[in-house]
């Protein structure tokens, strides 16, 4: 029975997503399976090439700086050129630059190529996220981003183990393997993924303002999300920059750190999909608040760790925060992004993580050297709390996800005009209502049909028994021709006392329990209390 439940859960988690999404997901997985440079760059430069740790740090910083620059460039390209061309250019360039890195010898050339690798490998991220938002339905986006994040971590976990064995044979072989896998990604994109960028209609082109980087920067609400994302990213980056330094200073070996941090990858692979099933329809504001605070205090607990088991326990806490935060945050970015500017918005969001990757090592180094590791973990708790408060303040001003995703519908107490007088309709909009006739109106047999062309919405119109249901612009009331039914508008001048809201067929319209009179228009006269 549990096996059946697991199968059903997996099937529900992956069902309903378009085929294009799965090809994009496959491209992401293949790309991460070939990840080698980011993992073994420092070891390659220090152990294989004999350079100093300072030089290795400089090269790593240039690699990260390339990612910062390309985040914005890749976002602009995704909007201007399209998602598909951006992916092809970025992946082909990444393959070439990674292969070149395995052959260059000069220190300056190595640094320059490392910058190029960082730029090209990060340029595809805004395009991937924008394409995913284009092709996946709004209600499925959190699940889609979660599956993509799961693929990234699964690929990275497998590649880290495989790349370690490759590095023992030849670092150059590792670079060439990554280049080959990246080319496979480009081939998948070329053969299987169509362009997904939304095209504007002529009216939209004439009336809508072009979305540029200035538009993104002036969007205060979105830039608030970017700033909060930077704070959260600063916390999560400490898992790879602050934690190993602190554990080393406390006398733990690199193998001990490897065991502790491995918990992160294992939990993400094991829990990302089931946790997403629980959170995908929850309030994103609460999820972001809780995940930010949980991340901060998860790292804060590291100050009390004195054994491998306790370190692993703290990793479990902030990994759970990461599992919740990553897809929810990306989904929020999509909600705030106009369709024509998704690339630029995703690029700005990606840049917040790239900048955090540059700042986090400096922050951890300064704090640990001057005040000790305990202060670093306390600072993480403070930053997490600040981010949680920031999300609370920001999300109070955002419309609910349900309201944004729902189709527009009538709510409240709309008013209709009868001879220039506003009359409230029934408070319960969308429920059929036939008003009682009031003398001297003449009641004729009628069949209720919806007067508004929207499912579940509208106050009924009437027609004679046996008459065809009128379409937009056709006569209402047994084909008398005195009233025309216009889709989405009130019916003017019907032929029956049981009338639609917004213009009736009787000189006396009983609305809300009281008669409302209107004057006959040209060509009409009153006969027996009925407009004819």
Beta-carbon contacts of 248 under 8 Å, excluding residues fewer than 6 positions away, are: 254, 257
* SS3 call for 432: coil
Phi and psi, residue 415, nearest 5°: -120, 150
Residues 271-323: tens digit of each pLDDT = 988 888 888 788 889 999 999 999 999 999 999 998 999 999 999 999 999 99
Per CATH, the number for 219-402 is: 1.20.1250.20
Q: Judge contact between 302 and 243, C-beta under 8 A.
A: yes
Q: Is 455 helix (H, G, I), strand (E, B) or coil?
A: coil
Per-residue pLDDT tens for 464-498? 444 444 444 444 444 434 333 334 444 444 444 44
Of 327, 288, 284, 30, which is closest to residue 149 (Cα–Cα)? 327
Q: Which pLDDT score, from 0 to 100, does residue 205 have?
A: 56
Sole residue written with tokens 């183990």: 161
Mean pLDDT calculated for residue range 127-145: 89
Selection from 173, 394, 145, 220 nearest residue 292 by Cα: 394
Cα within 13 Å of Cα(383), Cβ side: 26
- What does the pLDDT look like over 372-395, one tens digit per residue? 899 999 999 999 999 999 999 998
Mean pLDDT score, 32-57: 79
Q: 478-481 — which CB contacts under 8 Å span 24+ positions? A: none
Cβ(343)–Cβ(78) below 8 Å: yes
Q: Which tops the pLDDT comparison, 508 or 106?
A: 106
Please say whether the beta carbons of 140 and 281 come within 8 A: no
- CA 110/CA 88 separation, integer angstroms: 24
Per-residue pLDDT band at 411 (split at 50, 70, 90): very low
The number of CA neighbours under 13 Å toward the Cβ of 364 is 23
Cβ atoms of 172 and 45 closer than 8 Å: no
Q: Which residue has the higher pLDDT, 261 or 508?
A: 261
pLDDT tens-digit readout, 198-217:
876 655 555 556 677 788 88
Residues of the chain with CATH 1.20.1250.20: 17-195, 219-402
Structure tokens at 425: 């309709």
Q: Tell me the β-bridge partners of 449.
A: 461
DSSP for 334-386, written as a single string = HHHS-GGGHHHHHHHHHHHHHHHHHHHHHHHHHHHHHT-HHHHHHHHHHHHHH
Q: In this structure, is the dihedral angle defined by the CA atoms of residues 170, 172, 176 and 182, taken in order, positive or negative?
A: positive
CB 187 within 8 A of CB 31: no
Q: Which residues does residue 514 pair with via DSSP β-bridges, in sequence order? A: 511
Residue 485 in contact with residue 494, Cβ under 8 Å? no
pLDDT category at 399 given cuts 50, 70, 90 is low
Cβ neighbours, 10 Å, residue 133: 26
Mean pLDDT calculated for residue range 497-519: 45
Residue 9 pLDDT grade (very low, low, confident, very high; cuts 50, 70, 90)? low
Residue burial 247-274, b: 16+ Cβ < 10 Å; e: rest: beeeebeeebbebbbebbbebbbebbbe
Structure-token pair, residue 278: 């629980």
Quick one: pLDDT at residue 383?
A: 97
Task: Specify whether the CB–CB gap between 451 and 461 falls below 8 A.
Answer: yes
Q: In this predicted structure, what is the pLDDT of residue 476? A: 41
- C-alpha gyration radius of the chain: 31
CA–CA distance, 92 with 176 (Å, rounded to integer) = 13
Q: Does the pLDDT at position 417 exceed 50?
A: no
pLDDT of residue 403: 40
DSSP letters along 97-139, please?
HHHHHTT--SHHHHHHHHHHHHHHHHHHHHHHHHHHHHHS-GG
Find which of 325-329, 400-404, 431-435 is predicted with most confidence, using mean pLDDT: 325-329
> Which CATH code fits 17-195?
1.20.1250.20
Q: Is 212 helix (H, G, I), strand (E, B) or coil?
A: coil
> Distance between CA atoms of 87 and 215, rounded to whole angstroms?
24
What pLDDT is recorded for position 208?
A: 57
- Cα atoms found within 13 Å of the Cα of residue 93, Cβ hemisphere only: 20
**pLDDT at residue 503, as a whole number:** 43
pLDDT at 404 over 50: no
- What's the pLDDT tens digit per position in 70-106? 988 998 899 889 999 999 999 999 999 999 998 998 9
SS3 526: strand
Separation between Cα atoms, residue 408 and residue 411, nearest integer Å: 9
Angle between helices 242-249 and 373-395 (to 10 degrees): 150
Q: For strand 447-450 and strand 421-424, is the pairing parallel, antiparallel, or unpaired?
A: unpaired
User: How high is the pLDDT of residue 469?
Assistant: 45
Q: Reply yes or no: is the peptide bond before residue 241 cis, omega within 30 of 0.
A: no
3-state DSSP assignment of residue 517: strand
**Percent of the chain predicted with pLDDT > 70:** 71
Is a pLDDT exceeding 80 seen at residue 38? Answer: no
């Amino acid at each position: 029975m549990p096996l059946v439940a697991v199968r059903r859960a997996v099937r529900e988690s992956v069902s309903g997503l378009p085929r294009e999404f799965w090809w994009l997901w496959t491209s992401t997985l293949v790309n991460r399976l070939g990840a080698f440079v980011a993992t073994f760059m420092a070891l390659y430069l220090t152990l294989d090439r004999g350079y100093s740790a300072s030089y290795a740090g400089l090269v790593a910083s240039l690699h990260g700086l390339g990612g910062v620059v390309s985040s914005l460039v890749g976002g602009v390209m995704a909007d201007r050129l399209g998602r598909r061309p951006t992916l092809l250019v970025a992946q082909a360039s990444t393959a070439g630059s990674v292969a070149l890195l395995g052959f260059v010898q000069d220190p300056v050339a190595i640094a320059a190529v490392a910058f190029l690798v960082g730029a090209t490998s990060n340029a595809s991220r805004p395009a991937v996220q924008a394409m995913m938002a284009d092709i996946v339905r709004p209600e499925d986006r959190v699940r889609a981003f979660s599956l993509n994040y799961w693929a990234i971590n699964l690929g990275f976990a497998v590649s880290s183990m495989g790349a370690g064995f490759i590095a023992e044979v030849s670092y150059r072989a590792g670079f060439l393997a990554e280049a080959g896998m990246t080319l496979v990604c480009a081939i998948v994109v070329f053969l299987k993924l169509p362009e997904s960028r939304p095209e504007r209609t002529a009216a939209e082109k004439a009336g809508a303002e072009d979305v540029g980087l200035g538009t993104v920067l002036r969007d205060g609400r979105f830039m608030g999300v970017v700033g909060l994302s930077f704070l959260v990213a600063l916390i999560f980056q400490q898992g790879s920059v602050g934690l190993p330094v602190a554990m080393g200073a406390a006398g733990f070996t690199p193998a001990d750190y490897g065991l502790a941090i491995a918990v992160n990858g294992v939990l993400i692979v094991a829990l990302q999909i089931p946790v997403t099933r629980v959170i995908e329809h929850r309030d994103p504001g609460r999820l972001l608040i809780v995940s930010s605070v949980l991340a901060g205090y998860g790292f804060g607990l590291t100050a009390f760790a004195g054994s491998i088991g306790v370190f692993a326990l703290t990793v479990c806490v902030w990994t759970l925060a990461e599992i919740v935060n990553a897809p929810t945050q990306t989904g929020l970015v999509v909600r705030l992004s106009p369709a024509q500017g998704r690339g630029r918005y995703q690029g700005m969001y990606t840049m917040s993580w790239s900048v955090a990757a540059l700042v986090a090592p400096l922050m951890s180094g300064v704090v640990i050297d001057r005040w000790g590791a305990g202060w670093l973990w306390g600072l993480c708790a403070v930053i997490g709390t600040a981010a949680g408060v920031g999300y609370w303040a920001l999300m109070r001003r955002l419309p609910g996800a349900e309201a944004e995703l729902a189709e527009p519908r009538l709510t409240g107490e709309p008013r209709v005009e009868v001879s220039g007088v506003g009359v409230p309709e029934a408070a319960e909009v969308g429920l059929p209502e036939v008003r009682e006739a009031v003398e001297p109106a003449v009641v004729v047999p009628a069949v209720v049909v919806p007067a508004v062309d929207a499912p579940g919405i509208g106050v009924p119109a009437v027609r004679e028994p046996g008459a065809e249901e009128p379409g937009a612009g056709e006569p209402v009331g047994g084909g008398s021709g005195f009233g025309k039914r216009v889709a989405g508008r009130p019916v003017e001048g019907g032929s029956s006392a049981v009338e639609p809201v917004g213009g009736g067929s009787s000189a006396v319209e009983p609305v809300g329990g009281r008669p409302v009179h209107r004057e006959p228009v040209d060509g009409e006269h009153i006969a027996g209390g009925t407009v004819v």
